[in-house]
Amino acid sequence: MKVWKRSLPVWLLTLVMLLTACGTPSQPDQPDGTETWREAYEETGAYLQAQTAPTVGSIGGEWAVIGLSRAGLLSDETAQSYEQTVEDYVKQAGSVRLHHAKSTENSRTILGLTAAGYNAANVAGVDLTAGLTDMAYLRAQGTNGPIWALIALDCHGYDIPQCADGEKQTTREGLVAEILSYQCRDGGWAMMGDESDVDMTAMALTSLAPYQEEIDVKAAVDAALTYLSDAQQADGGFMSWGAANSESCAQVIVALTALGIDPAADSRFVKNGASPLDGLCAFACEGGGFRHSDEQMESDGMATEQGFYALVAYDRFRQGQTRLFDMTDIEVK
């Protein structure tokens, strides 16, 4: 049999070669969403493990400790080093309040110590929960104060000590009521004022998660979830203060998993096939870490720590483990 042959035009051969080498637009040579978050999770965990010993602070401190601990990556040596650093810091502060106006300093440190396996109610003889007993002090920091006080006190079921004379006693019921009172008309929460913010809304939901079966809390949670769903961008991400950023995605992931909602599958949070996980991982850096925004070319400390603990929260959710900030599975010393 005679085979008929005809040579292809040069331009067509060139196009075929390019498509073979680079792949077609419908089949990009990229990992799927699951592989993307897992890769970012593992690389960022290794990246944080390689950093210097954690300090007391919002960057390079408690958030890194929490992420590593909840991922099972915090070494005993690092935990002990961090606890000693906190002891020294508390002694220098000379008070149960680590800051004269910011109660979140106590709340964050309570979370870090508990994650490291230490009792925050006895740090060199100082009870850090005693710094959260006055509601007026917590309110001084706006919405943030009560939210993080509740998260910190609930992280290991800490008792709330008696407040001093002349102070307004903090209670869990009071904290929940205070947080609910800050909810804006559109269902979200604001740092200050009445303009809702994605980050604050997500943090409020995280604090209310253990109480979501209460009627008034459930109604507030439902309204907030609607707000967040409406605020989600077409690429699965979120904006705060007018800019798309990784931290907003991270806080939403933590909140959703705390509420028992799958951020990768719930239809309210999947836009055009993209979830908050996709939104977060769009900021992942090669070799570990996260950028804050598209304007940054390198990893950012706060974005990296928040991005990592968000992925830890998701991984724990997938495995049926306790919430990120529910540390009752940790035995404290």
Identify which of 236, 228, 235 has the alpha carbon closest to the alpha carbon of residue 206: 228
- The whole-angstrom separation of Cα 117 and Cα 123 is 12
Per-residue pLDDT, 282 = 98
Q: Are 329 and 88 in contact (CB under 8 A)?
A: no
Which range among 23-27, 91-95, 150-154, 179-183 shows the weakest confidence by mean pLDDT? 23-27
**Architecture in CATH of 184-320:** Alpha/alpha barrel (1.50)
Residue 188 pLDDT greater than 50, yes or no: yes
Residue 36 pLDDT greater than 90, yes or no: no
pLDDT band at 34 (very low <50, low <70, confident <90, very high): low
- The whole-angstrom separation of Cα 88 and Cα 79 is 14
Which range among 17-21, 122-126, 151-155, 158-162 shows the weakest confidence by mean pLDDT? 17-21
The predicted model scores a pTM of: 0.90
**SS3 at position 119:** coil
Per-residue pLDDT, 52 = 84
Token pair for residue 60? 């390079």
Residue 13 pLDDT greater than 70, yes or no: no
**Cα 236–Cα 298–Cα 234 angle in degrees, nearest 5:** 10
The domain locations on the chain are 56-181, 184-320
